[in-house]
Amino acid sequence: MANEMLGNQLLKLVSSAEENVVLVAPFIKAETLSRVLDAIPNPGPQIDCVTRWQPEDIVDGVCDLEIFELIADRTNAHLWKHPNLHAKFFRGDQSCLVGSANLTGRALGWRLPTNLELLVDLDVSSLGLQAWEASVMSNCILVTAELRDQVAKEAEKLAAQRPKLPSMDVEHDDDPSFRWIPLCPSPERLFKVYTGELDEAKMVRSAFEFAQHDLRTLGPPKGYSDEDFLSYIADRLQKLEVIQEVVGASTAGLSDVQAADLIADYIDPLSMIDAGDAWKILKRWMMHFFPEDYRIEVQQEVFVKGRRIDIK
């Protein structure tokens, strides 16, 4: 199913439930859970929400502490913790969705760039799903206010071991090998946005939003030094399909017109950016994160993959 439809598929499932809603996912973001809960009548069916909720998940930004309050505010709703959880399973009465999508905006198609995910509609009586659900629930721990405080304390202790960073919403539960290109026109400022040294008050608003967009996509863990950050982003970029396409074409020299045509299919139409501008941005990123590998031949405006020369 097309990724943008996954969220609507889940909302339809939970909104039609009359007796039970079960939400099982290791990563759950508060904004996404709130949207799902809003689709369920209140008071309404019994709601059981199961997540991994490890302290490192909180620190890394892939799961939110606030989901406890969202569940606690609902009638007949409980939050459960399963430390080894990896499965994604959503049930409304006798129907369920099973697949790869976490309860995050990107997984359900509600945030760009969206992940490539899958949710399959199944009858809960098939394939041993009822027994699987029973096994999961029997091995969960009910999250109380005391347990919530304990997880928060452990996360705070873990976070204190890393440099302080802004509370930027991060979702990086996927591999960035999908068809995506960066949007921030100033890659040299990306690290300062990551650390919080630059914010919306110190940058052009659109550039700041694009920087956050790119950071959410590439998902650098919190606490990196400048050097580690550069290394991490360079490694992630090398895995991008569009980068591999450009590298192959630039060996013989790549004009701006040729490059724009090459990357056109990788541009999300919702980004409202044309291929020429997208190439200018991608070119800046490649020259910033791979400074020894690429150059511009000014006379011809040709982007070229160079050869390293070691001078001893």
Question: What is the SS3 assignment for 22?
Answer: strand
- Look up residue 256 and give its amino acid: D
Under the banding of pLDDT at 50, 70 and 90, the label for residue 165 is very low
Under the banding of pLDDT at 50, 70 and 90, the label for residue 174 is very low
Q: Of the candidates 183, 176, 178, which has an alpha carbon nearest to the alpha carbon of residue 279? A: 183
Residues 6+ apart with CB under 8 A from 187: 284, 285, 288, 289
Which residue would you say has higher pLDDT here, 78 or 275?
78
pLDDT of residue 172: 46
To 5 degrees, how large is the angle CA 260–CA 265–CA 271?
A: 85
User: CA 179 to CA 125: how far, in whole Å?
Assistant: 37
Given a cut of 60, whether residue 170 has pLDDT beyond it is no
Question: Of all residues in the chain, what percent carry a pLDDT higher than 90?
Answer: 40
Given a cut of 60, whether residue 312 has pLDDT beyond it is no
Q: In this structure, are residues 241 and 230 in contact, taking their beta carbons and an 8 Å threshold?
A: no
Helices (H), 73-144: 129-138
Which residue would you say has higher pLDDT here, 146 or 125?
146
User: CA 129 to CA 214: how far, in whole Å?
Assistant: 38
Give the pLDDT mean for 233-243.
83
Residues 284-303 have pLDDT tens digits of 998 899 888 876 665 555 66
Asked whether the CA dihedral 65, 107, 244, 211 is positive or negative, the reply is negative
Domain 3-158 listed as CATH 3.40.50.720: no
Q: Give the chain's mean pLDDT.
A: 83
Give the pLDDT mean for 214-232.
84
Q: In this structure, are residues 91 and 133 in contact, taking their beta carbons and an 8 Å threshold?
A: yes
pLDDT of residue 4: 52
Given a cut of 60, whether residue 206 has pLDDT beyond it is yes
Residue with tokens 């909104």: 15
Give the pLDDT mean for 137-161.
91
Which residue would you say has higher pLDDT here, 158 or 149?
149
The pTM is what? 0.56
pLDDT of residue 1: 46
User: CA 36 to CA 9: how far, in whole Å?
Assistant: 11
User: CA 217 to CA 173: how far, in whole Å?
Assistant: 9
Domain ranges of the chain: 3-158, 187-305
Residues 7-40 have pLDDT tens digits of 889 999 999 999 999 999 999 999 899 999 999 9
Under the banding of pLDDT at 50, 70 and 90, the label for residue 307 is low
| Exposure string for 224-235, b = 16+ CB within 10 A, e = fewer | beeeebbeebbe
